[in-house]
Amino acid sequence: MALQLGRTMRGVLGIGARCACGAPTVVVTSPRLPDGTPFPTFYYLTHPGATASASRLEADGTMAELQLRLEEPGVADAYAAAHAAYLADREAHGHVEEIAGISAGGMPTRVKCLHAVLAQSLAAGEGVNPIGDLALELGDWSPSVCACPQDQRGSRLGAGDAAGVTRAGEPSES
C-alpha cells in the first residue's frame, strides 16, 4: 500500500479488496487514527488504476450524471442503505463521536467522491452501493484484470487477508 500511495498508511485494519493479482485495492482504516484523529473514510481506495479511473470519471462530468441518478427513487433508497451499511461496518471497529453519522462520498444524499463509493463497492461487494457499482461499470479499470506495475503485484496466496479484515469490514479468522 505504501508503494501504491507513495506514503505510509496509518490506522490500517486490513485489506478490504484485492485486484486479480492479489495486490491491495481497498484498505480498511480505523475510525480513529493512532494519533487520535477521527477518520471517517473506512474504505480507502489504494490501487493506482482504480484511483485514476475514479479521477477520470470525476473530471469528465460523470459524477454530475450519477448525482442525477439519485432522483430515481430506487437508486436514492439503495444509496441511503449503502450509507447505513458503511456506518455499521465502521462502527463495528469503534465508535467515534466526532464522525458519528458521517460516511463518505457524499452519502446519503450527494455524489461527492467516486473514490469513496467505488471503494465501498469493491470491499462490501456488488449491490451494496449503486453509485459505486456504476462507477466501476463506467470506469476504465477492473479488479479482475491486473494492471499493477510489476513491483506492486500481490500474491494470490493470502488473498483472504492476513491483516484482520475481510469484505464488508468483518474481522477475518486468519
Which pLDDT tens digit goes with each residue over 33-83? 999 999 999 999 999 899 999 999 999 999 999 999 999 989 999 999 999
CA distance linking residue 27 with residue 15, whole number of Å:
5
CA distance linking residue 44 with residue 42, whole number of Å:
6
Nearest to 118 by CA among 22, 21, 25: 25
Nearest to 54 by CA among 8, 105, 96: 105
The list of the chain residues with pLDDT below 50 reads 2, 156-168, 171-174
Residue 63: half-sphere exposure toward Cβ, Cα within 13 Å: 19
- Please check whether residue 93 is in contact with residue 65, taking contact to mean a CB–CB distance below 8 angstroms: no
pLDDT on residue 166:
43
pLDDT on residue 128:
97
Please indicate, yes or no, if residue 159 is contained in any of the structural domains: no
Whole domain around residue 17: which residue ranges? 2-151
Please indicate, yes or no, if residue 10 is contained in any of the structural domains: yes
pLDDT on residue 159:
37
Please indicate, yes or no, if residue 163 is contained in any of the structural domains: no
pLDDT on residue 21:
85
Please indicate, yes or no, if residue 169 is contained in any of the structural domains: no
pLDDT on residue 173:
36
Count the domains in the chain.
1
pTM > 0.85: yes or no = no
30-128-111-137 Cα dihedral, nearest 10 degrees: 110
